[in-house]
A and B are shown apart, each in its own frame.
Chain A
């Protein structure tokens, strides 16, 4: 499943994922945003992995926020934007 979100005033945030047993699996965040240190990408993917399919965008954004290293730098990207992209990936069929 695939979801994209162009954050207003930001960059393109893309999520690819599967759902297994009602939980997010094989989550991959990508896009043309800026994120440092670059290892934070894998920390974000890991934070989303296993989240309930029914989790709210707020809960997903909080999970991402909790996983970020204290010195993280985000430009054109935010936990909220990531949560929107996840939500779009999950509800793509409904949108179309």
Chain B
């Protein structure tokens, strides 16, 4: 396998109507598989959320991370994703989430640390264009003078790598801390969170609506790497809906790490 560059691939954009949390989990699974199998071109997918959610990492303990009663009280669905990393607190419009489904050749011979930074270099450029001085903070964060902006996670599947990122646009920190149990050891990372009512590094540092930030990010990706508009194929959609209702809604998966 030869190392490839962004421009060696014909990048596709998927940005559709809001989807349920479990369907997002399933789409990541299916689209990564399709790129790995060579049936789909490398793709950037921008997520839109139909409902609030807590998304926990593949190896996080459900009971240690989430206050189930508080989640239910706020009407928040809890789902587990296929990649490692930390919990995300999602309400429609409060974050910007994207997935990159890429051939492994793109990061061949890179260390994990290099691969994380590589996949988000275009985002740092987009943020710079928006006036935000941001940088990569190993292992898997994008941070800025106004605090942590984003967390990334990767998972490798048969020839493909999924790199997905959630960026804080304007998060209700009080509600987040009500639902997520943030342990003693982790508090040092989230110190800025506990002090603030809102975690809004993108909103406060750009002054732009969320849609405008996304538009700028997509434009930057398109200019740097090339990007054609695409949709989820009917067979991909059908398979994703099946997995969303099955595996990704099952207690066995959600409580796999109890």
Q: Which residues of A contact B (CB under 8 A)?
A: 2, 4-6, 9-12, 14, 16, 28-36, 38, 41, 73, 75-76
Do residues B61 and A4 form an inter-chain contact, with CB atoms below 8 A?
no
Q: Are A4 and B139 in contact (CB under 8 A)?
A: no
Residue contact A11 to B139, C-beta cutoff 8 Å:
yes
- Please judge, given known A-B contacts A14-B64, A30-B257, whether A35 and B59 are in contact too, CB under 8 Å: yes
Q: Which of B73-101 contact A (CB under 8 A)?
A: 82-87
Asked if B154 is an interface residue, CB under 8 A from chain A, the answer is yes
- Tell me how far the C-beta of A45 lies from the nearest C-beta in chain B, rounded to whole angstroms: 10
Asked whether B58 lies within 8 Å of A4 as measured between CB atoms, the reply is no
Contacts of B203 in A (CB 8 A): none
Q: Is the CB of B185 within 8 A of A30?
A: no
B188 touches A6 (CB 8 A): yes
B155 close to A (CB within 8 Å): yes
* A4 CA / B61 CA spacing, docked (Å): 12
- Within the complex, the shortest CB–CB distance from B230 to chain A, in Å, comes to 27
CB distance from B105 to the nearest CB of A (A): 17
CB nearest neighbor in B for A37: B156
B138 close to chain A: CB less than 8 A: yes
Check A16–B155 contact: CB distance below 8 A: no
| B interface residues, how many (CB within 8 angstroms) | 27
The residues in B between 85 and 141 inclusive whose CB is less than 8 angstroms from any CB of A are 85-87, 112, 138-140
Contacts of B84 in A (CB 8 A): 11, 32-35, 75-76
CA distance A91 to B64 in the complex (A): 19
- Given A32-B57, A32-B87, 4 additional A-B pairs, CB 8 A: A6-B186, A11-B86, A38-B82, A41-B59
B83: nearest chain-A partner, CB-CB = A34
Chain B residues near A76 (CB-CB < 8 A): 84, 139-140
Query: Across the interface, do B57 and A36 meet the contact criterion of CB distance under 8 Å?
Result: no
Secondary structure dominating the interface of A: strand
From A4, A5, A33, A73, give the contact of B59 (CB < 8 A): A33
State the Cβ distance, A39 to closest chain B Cβ, in Å.
Answer: 11
Q: Which of B223-258 contact A (CB under 8 A)?
A: 257-258
The answer to whether B257 touches A10, judged by C-beta atoms less than 8 angstroms apart, is no
Binding site for A on B (CB under 8 A): 57-61, 64, 82-87, 112, 138-140, 153-156, 183-186, 188, 257-258
Interchain Cβ contacts under 8 Å between A and B, 13 examples:
A2-B64, A4-B185, A6-B185, A28-B61, A30-B59, A30-B61, A30-B257, A33-B59, A34-B84, A35-B58, A35-B59, A73-B112, A76-B84
Q: Decide: B57 and A41 in contact? CB cutoff 8 A.
A: no
Most chain B CB within 10 A, of A14, A75, A76, is at: A75
A-B pairs, top 4 by smallest CB distance, nearest first, are: A30-B61, A34-B84, A32-B86, A4-B185
- Residues of A near B155 (CB, < 8 A) are 34, 36
Give chain B residues whose Cβ lies under 8 Å from the Cβ of A16: 61, 64
When distances are taken between beta carbons in the complex, the residues of chain A under 8 Å from B58 are 35, 38
Give the chain A neighbours of B188 by CB distance below 8 A: 6
CA distance A76 to B137 in the complex (A): 13
